[in-house]
Chain A
Amino acid sequence: MLELLSFGDSGWGDDLLKGAIITVQLALCSVGLGFSAGLLLAMIKLSRFRILRWTAEAYTLFVRGVPEFLILLLVFFGSEQIINTSLAAMGFAVTVAVPKFAAAVAGLSMIFAAYSCEVFRGAYLAVPSGQMEAAESVGMTRMQGFLHIRMPQLWRFAIPGLGNLWMVMLKDTSLAAVIALDELLRVAKVAGEATSNPLLFFVTAGLIYLALTALSDIVRDKAEKSAQKGMASS
C-alpha cells in the first residue's frame, strides 16, 4: 500500500510534495500581502478620521463574522466578475481571467489583514504612553518617537499574535482545495479518488500539515525569544 506514496510516475509521493510546496507558497504570499494590508488597516483605525475608522471597522467585522470558506468562494467567483465589469465600464474590450492561486491569495490575505490589524492595534496601544511622553520631552518629533521608540517595541508585542495567525493561515490554505487549486489537500483528494484509497492519502496529508505546524512552532518560539532579548522578565 505504501508504494502508492512513492515518487515517480506511478506513485503520488512527488505530487503530494508539490502540493505541500504550493500550500507553503500560498501561506507565505497571503501573509506577505495581508501583513502590509493589516498594517495599513491598523493605521487607518488609529487615525483621526471617523469615516475611515468606521469603514475599517466594518471591514474587520465582516471578515471576523463571515466564514473564511464563504469569503474565499466570494472572492474566487466574484473577482473575475468585478474586474471584467469594471474593465468594460472603463471601455476596455479585453477580459481578464484571474488565476486560482491569485484568487486564493487575495481571499486569504483579506482575512489575514483583518485579524492582523487587531494584533497591530493592540501592540501599538501596548507601548506605555509614558515612553512616548518621555520621547517628546527629550525633543523627538512624533515621527522620530514612532520610529525609534514605538516601532521596535510594537514588534515585541505583536509577535505572539502574528505567530498564531501564521498557524491559522497555514491551515486555512486547505480551503483552496474546494476551488480546485492543487495544494496539498486537493492533491490528496484526487489521489484518494484515483486509487480508491482516500484514508491513506488524507491521513498522510494530515501528517504533513502536522509537520508544517511543528516546524512553524519552532520558528515562532525562536522569534519570540529573540524579541524578548534584553527585556527584564515580567
Chain B
Amino acid sequence: MSVYQTAKYAISDAACSVLSPVTPGSFGEFCPRFIDGFFVTVELLILSCSMGLVIAIAVAFARLSSNIFISKASFVYSYIFRGTPLLVQLWIAYFGFGSLGAEKLGLFWPLFKEGWTIGVIVLTLNTGAYVSEILRGGLVNVPKGQMEAAVATGMSWFQSMFHIMLPQAFKIAWPAYGNEVVLLMKGSALVSTITVLDLMGQTRTVFSRSYDLDVYAYSAVLYLLLAGTITVLFKFGENRMKTD
C-alpha cells in the first residue's frame, strides 16, 4: 500500500475514533467506510474540477477560433457532453468501451481498467463542457473595448485573452461556476454505479447489509457538508475578487 493510501486510512480511523462517541450507533459501526468514501469523492472532485477547468478554457478559446474545424469540433464536443446524461456517459465508457477488453483496446486499456480512472476522465470531460459554456457566457459580457485596447498595446490575441479577458470573464461567471462545482460534486455520486467506492458507493454497500434508511441520512449529511464547504469557499473567493 502506498504512503498516500496509508495516510488516508490513518486519517479515516482517527476521524472515526473522534466521531464515534458523538454519533448514533449505526454510524459508528460503519464509520471508516463512510470516511473512506468521503475521501474518494473529494479526490474525484479535486481532480476533475482542476482538469476540467483547463479543458474548459481551451474549449472556450476554440469556440472563438477562426478555424472552422476547431470551432465546430469544440461545439460538437460541448453539445454532446451537455446533451446526454452523465450516467449514460459513464456507462458507455465503463460497460461499453471497457467490455472490449485488453486485446482490443491495447494501449488504452489502463485507462479503462479501473472504474476510478474512467470516473475521473468522464467527470472531467463532462464538467469541462459545462464550464466552457459558463466561461463563454462570461467572455461575452466583458466589454469588447478591453480586447481592442489590449491588442492596441501590442499584446497578441492569446495574451490579451489570457491576461485581460479571461480573468474578467471569470469574475462575472464566478457564481455560475461555483454552482457548477456543486453540480459536479452531486454528479460524482454516479461513479458508484461503475464499482467505485466513493461516498455513495460505500453508502449503497452498507445499506445492502442493514437495509436501515439511516445510512442514507448519514450520507446526505456528509454530502451537505461538502456542498457547504464548496459554497463557502466560493463566497470567500468572491469577496477576495471584489475590487470596488
Q: Is B73 interfacial (CB 8 A cutoff)? A: no
CA distance A185 to B213 in the complex (A): 26
With the chains together, A174 CA to B200 CA distance in Å? 17
| B71 within 8 A of partner (CB) | no
A78 at the interface (CB under 8 A from B): yes
Q: Name the A residues within 8 Å of B200 (CB-CB).
A: 67, 69-70
Whole-angstrom distance from the CB of B91 to the nearest CB of chain A?
5
* The one of B85, B99, B207 that contacts A185, using a Cβ cutoff of 8 Å: B85
- Taking the nearest CB of chain A, how far is it from the CB of B81, in angstroms? 10
Known pairs A199-B99, A209-B84, A213-B83; A66 contacts B220 (CB<8 A): yes
A60-78 contacts to B, CB under 8 A, are 61-62, 64-70, 73-74, 77-78
Given A66-B224, A74-B216: A210 and B96 interface contact (C-beta under 8 Å): no
Interface size band for B: 35 or more
Q: Which residues of B contact A69 (CB under 8 A)?
A: 186, 189-190, 192, 200
Q: Using Cβ atoms and an 8 Å threshold, which residues of chain B touch A174?
A: 85, 87-88
Decide: A178 and B193 in contact? CB cutoff 8 A: yes
| Total A residues in contact with B, Cβ cutoff 8 Å | 35
Note all chain A residues with C-beta closer than 8 A to B182.
64-65
| Complex-state Cα separation, A70 to B199, whole angstroms | 10
Known pairs A66-B223, A209-B83, A209-B84; A189 contacts B91 (CB<8 A): yes
Residues of B within 8 A of A192 (CB): 95-96
Chain B minimum-CB-distance residue to A213: B83
- Residues of A near B220 (CB, < 8 A) are 62, 66, 70, 74
A198 touches B203 (CB 8 A): no
Q: Does A108 sit at the interface, judged by CB under 8 A? A: no
**Binding stretch for chain B, among A33-41, A149-157, A200-208:** A200-208
A81–B200 Cα distance when bound, in Å, is 21
Kindly name the residue among B86, B96, B99, B228 whose own CB sees the greatest number of chain A CB atoms within 10 A: B96
Known A65-B228, A66-B224; contact A171-B189, beta-carbon cutoff 8 A: no
A residues near B (Cβ < 8 Å) are 61-62, 64-70, 73-74, 77-78, 81, 171-175, 177-178, 185, 189, 192, 196, 198-199, 202-203, 205-206, 209-210, 213-214
Given A196-B99, A199-B96, 11 new contacts (CB under 8 A): A65-B182, A66-B186, A67-B186, A70-B203, A73-B204, A77-B213, A174-B88, A189-B91, A198-B91, A198-B95, A198-B96
17 pairs, CB–CB < 8 Å, chain A vs chain B: A65-B186, A65-B227, A69-B186, A69-B190, A70-B203, A70-B219, A70-B223, A77-B207, A77-B216, A171-B85, A178-B193, A185-B91, A189-B95, A192-B95, A192-B96, A199-B100, A209-B85
Closest 4 CB pairs of A and B: A65-B227, A67-B189, A199-B96, A171-B85
